């Protein structure tokens, strides 16, 4: 019986962080107490983290906000991303700042882990802006180890569906310094023009204006900070998690194409190993179609050489009985033909028919329908005897004609 998840408790009141020079930088010292608090507050069986974590990083101006909706779509996620800059502006974080405290790695991790436990993130979520420091990187590794432990602990139990094998993707959108600075300054110009119009008209919402978007030197410095800190932090995870470095230099469509290629579904990476082991004996569609044309030609040549009479009769049957009906559906590109012709009962006949249509550019599907037809009636017993009628239902699809409009 699945226990009712413990209601989310209010965030624990924590003492203000120590001054910057005394801030703890030891990952286990930071992570272990936070994990113990989670187990006490929620219960171990309710520490249900997302199946998929997508850690999104990028150079200033690389288009993280612009491309986040497409990344969500590519991974089939419907929840809003967790943006760390917004998460650290919550009432809990404001209280720490008002008390004179520093929002350090401990506070960042504590509020993040509690947010990740929300039900809407169970299938997966994008984390925008985490990790940014080496300590946060080490804490992420420790979180992943805990998630793996939970998966193994509950595997095969009634709660197992809530503790699936976690998958972590590191997605980095990259542009060079020149492009980054140009995009930051362009964003500044657009923000200023928009806000001037809002202030003049009194309508609309003001956009954020960053100082770095109006000063070339500050924009260049912001890029270098990314390269020296965040870039190194993300790069250190390359050998542990699935790492995707995406070229974001090009047009919007080009970047989308790059994202789609990098984040395409891969069953071997995302399915539970035991699930994948059961499925891997079945071929992928891509494996079936890679040599489909060559195999089709080989089969047709084989029919003509090994079964020339049947092959010729079947071509004649298609020409006289099926194509006239198909031609009447030239606009729709979709036709159905029912046939009781005994020719189709011949061995290899249906395979030949499908291959012939495929070679000619059609898509053919054959379904066999068996219908009981009353044959005799016994007046004394009232018993009805039936014979079985076999009907071949042939569905032909092709690209139909486009009607001229106007």
Strands 384-397 and 334-339, how do they pair?
Answer: antiparallel
Q: Count CA within 13 A, CB hemisphere, residue 76.
A: 6
- Residue where one domain finishes, among candidates 247, 282, 317: 282
172: helix, strand or coil:
strand
Q: Over 70: is that where the pLDDT of 15 sits?
A: no
403 lies in a domain?
no
3 state DSSP class of 196: helix
Q: Which residue's structure tokens are 């436990």?
A: 117
Instruction: Answer with the one of 262, 282, 302 that is the final residue of a domain.
Output: 282
Cα–Cα distance measured from residue 103 to residue 106, given in angstroms and rounded to the nearest whole number? 8
- In a domain? residue 9: no
pLDDT at position 19 is 46
* Cα–Cα distance for residue pair 60/175, rounded to 1 Å: 8
Where are the alpha helices (H) located in 202-338, listed in sequence order? Answer: 216-225, 231-235, 252-262, 267-270, 273-279, 285-289, 292-306, 308-317, 323-327
Mean pLDDT throughout 352-374? 91
Q: Which of 282, 300, 323 is the last residue of a domain?
A: 282
pLDDT score of 44 more than 80:
yes
287 inside domain: no
Domain count, the chain: 2
Q: What is the CATH number of the domain that holds 61?
A: 3.40.50.300
- Structural contact between residues 296 and 359, judged by C-beta atoms closer than 8 angstroms: yes
| Neighbour tally for 20: CB within 10 Å | 8
Are residues 117 and 265 both part of a single domain? Answer: yes
Name the pairing type of β-strands 167-174 and 52-58: parallel
Residue 23 has pLDDT above 60, yes or no: no
Looking at the fold, whether 247 and 149 belong to one and the same domain comes out as yes
Residue 4: pLDDT over 50? no
From the list 139, 32, 117, 145, the residue with the least C-alpha distance to 153 is 145
Question: CB–CB of 63/181 below 8 Å?
Answer: no
Residues 150 and 205 in one domain: yes
- Do 118 and 139 share a structural domain? yes
Q: Return the CATH number at 315.
A: 3.30.110
pLDDT tens readout for residues 110-152:
999 999 999 999 989 999 888 888 888 999 999 999 999 999 9
Greater model confidence, 354 or 86? 354
Quick one: 192 and 71 in the same domain? Answer: yes
> Do residue 192 and residue 325 come from a single domain?
no
**118 shares a domain with 96:** yes
Is residue 8 pLDDT above 70, yes or no?
Answer: no
Q: What's the pLDDT at 133?
A: 80
CA distance readout (Å), 254 to 60, 132, 257, 285:
19, 27, 5, 26
Q: 27, 140 in Cβ contact below 8 A?
A: no
Asked if residue 134 is part of any domain, the answer here is: yes
CA distance 279 to 229: 42
| 109 lies in the same domain as 211 | yes
Residue 354 has pLDDT above 60, yes or no: yes
Q: Does 10 reside within a domain?
A: no
pTM value is: 0.64
- 321 domain-assigned: yes
Q: Please, what sign has the CA dihedral across residues 69, 71, 72, 73?
A: positive
Query: Do residues 148 and 130 share a domain?
Result: yes
Q: Is the pLDDT of residue 166 over 70?
A: yes
92-103 average pLDDT score: 64
Identify the DSSP state of 118: S
Do 153 and 113 share a domain, yes or no?
Answer: yes
Q: Which residues contact 275 (CB under 8 A, 6 or more apart)?
A: none
Instruction: Judge whether residue 372 has pLDDT over 90.
Output: no
| 235-271 residue pLDDT tens | 888 888 888 888 888 788 888 888 888 777 666 566 6
Q: Mean pLDDT check: name the lowest of 97-106, 175-184, 258-267.
A: 97-106
**392 - beta bridge partners?**
339, 368
- Are 125 and 159 in contact, with CB atoms under 8 Å apart? no
> What CA–CA distance (Å, rounded) separates 336 from 78?
39
3 found inside a domain: no
3-state secondary structure of 58: strand
Question: Do 259 and 321 share a structural domain?
Answer: no
pLDDT at residue 14 greater than cutoff 60? no
Strands across the sheet containing 363-377: 334-339, 384-397, 363-377
Task: Say whether both 356 and 264 belong to one domain.
Answer: no
Look at residue 302 and tell me if it is in a domain. Answer: yes
Domain hosting residue 330, numbered range: 292-397
User: Is the per-residue pLDDT at 386 higher than 50?
Assistant: yes
């Amino acid at each position: 019986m699945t226990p009712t998840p413990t209601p989310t408790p209010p965030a624990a009141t924590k003492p203000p962080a120590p001054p910057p020079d005394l801030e703890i930088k030891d990952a286990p010292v930071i992570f272990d107490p936070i994990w113990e608090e989670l187990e006490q507050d929620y219960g171990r069986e309710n520490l249900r983290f997302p199946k998929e974590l997508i850690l999104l990083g990028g150079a200033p101006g690389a288009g993280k906000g612009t491309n986040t909706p497409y990344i969500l779509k590519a991974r089939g996620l419907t929840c809003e991303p967790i943006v760390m800059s917004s998460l650290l502006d919550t009432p809990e974080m404001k209280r720490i700042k008002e008390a004179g405290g520093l929002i350090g790695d401990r506070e960042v991790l504590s509020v993040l882990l509690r947010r990740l436990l929300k039900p809407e993130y169970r299938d997966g979520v994008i984390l925008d802006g985490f990790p940014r420091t080496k300590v946060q990187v080490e804490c992420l590794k420790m979180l992943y180890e805990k998630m793996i432990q939970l998966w193994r602990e509950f595997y095969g139990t009634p709660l197992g569906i809530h503790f699936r094998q976690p998958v972590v993707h590191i997605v980095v959108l990259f542009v060079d310094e020149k492009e980054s600075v140009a995009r930051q300054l362009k964003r500044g110009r657009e923000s200023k023009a928009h806000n001037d119009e809002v202030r003049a008209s009194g309508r609309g919402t003001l956009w954020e204006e960053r100082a770095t978007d109006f000063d070339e030197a500050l924009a260049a410095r912001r890029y270098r900070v990314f390269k020296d800190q965040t870039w190194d932090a993300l790069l250190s995870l390359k050998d542990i998690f699935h790492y995707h470095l995406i070229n974001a230099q090009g047009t919007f469509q080009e970047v989308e194409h790059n994202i789609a290629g990098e984040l395409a579904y891969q069953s071997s990476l995302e399915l539970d190993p035991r699930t994948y082991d059961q499925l891997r004996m079945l071929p992928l569609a891509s494996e079936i179609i890679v040599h489909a044309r060559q195999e089709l030609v080989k089969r047709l040549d084989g029919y003509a050489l090994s079964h020339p009479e049947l092959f010729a009769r079947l071509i004649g049957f298609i020409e006289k009985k099926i194509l006239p009906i198909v031609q009447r559906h030239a606009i729709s590109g979709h036709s159905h033909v029912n046939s009781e012709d005994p020719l189709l009962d011949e061995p290899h006949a249906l395979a030949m028919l499908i291959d012939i249509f495929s070679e000619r550019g059609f898509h053919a599907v054959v379904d066999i329908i068996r219908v009981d037809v009353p044959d005799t009636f016994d007046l004394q017993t009232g018993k009805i005897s039936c014979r079985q009628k076999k009907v071949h239902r042939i569905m032909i699809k092709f690209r139909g004609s486009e009607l001229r409009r106007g």
